[in-house]
Structure 1
């Protein structure tokens, strides 16, 4: 499954090659499953549409700095918070909680399927799935050396 180039790049600190594509495919499956479950259980389209991009409001944390921005982004975009919301909603009978949980899972999975991973304090473009976009020349050099 791993070719020589993938093995040589495996020390970069983030996934590459087939591992990266597998993680993105897995995220796409999570997006499809959470979205389908939301609607199968009777979720309303308007609620899904209104709340789907709500987790992106966590970008406001970057006003406080890279570290605070990354921490807030990661809390909102991890699967842990939505799981707690969904379980709490099911156990308490509060429909809105499990609906929000499924919508937030769908959002986080959608982002990851596009390559937007959890953030490092180094900046928004530094994620657990690798750098986003065209990094400045110096950062790209470090990325090639495995330091980003």
Structure 2
């Protein structure tokens, strides 16, 4: 009887972990930003005069409001795909850039550091690995339990 209780406990633990890791979660970003060539720029409310705009230094290639998704390329959590980034005259592009808003104005984004948003990709792999373990492990445990009860 002790083995059966142990298998039931393992099964309950596996199911609990499954629901913990796979329950739907919606995470929102802490602040609006854009990524340009791996550099994270935080959006400010400071308007940039159009006369101060330099050349285009990039554009949004990926957009998502879901923090848990993998985000590669020139990414933004606020601006749609295709939104352009501009240099600001007198300011190095490594420090700040301007972004055109949907209203047609330009706002400043300040360099915050390197973007490490791709780290969530490893969580996706971990979740799929746990699913595979559950899909394979639970039937094996149930099969063993049934065989032991028959013998």
Does TM, scored on the shorter chain, surpass 0.5?
no
More contact order relative to length (CA 8 Å, sep ≥ 6): 1
The TM-score, its normalising length taken from structure 2, stands at 0.24
The TM-score, its normalising length taken from structure 1, stands at 0.25
Structure 1 or 2: more helix by fraction = 1
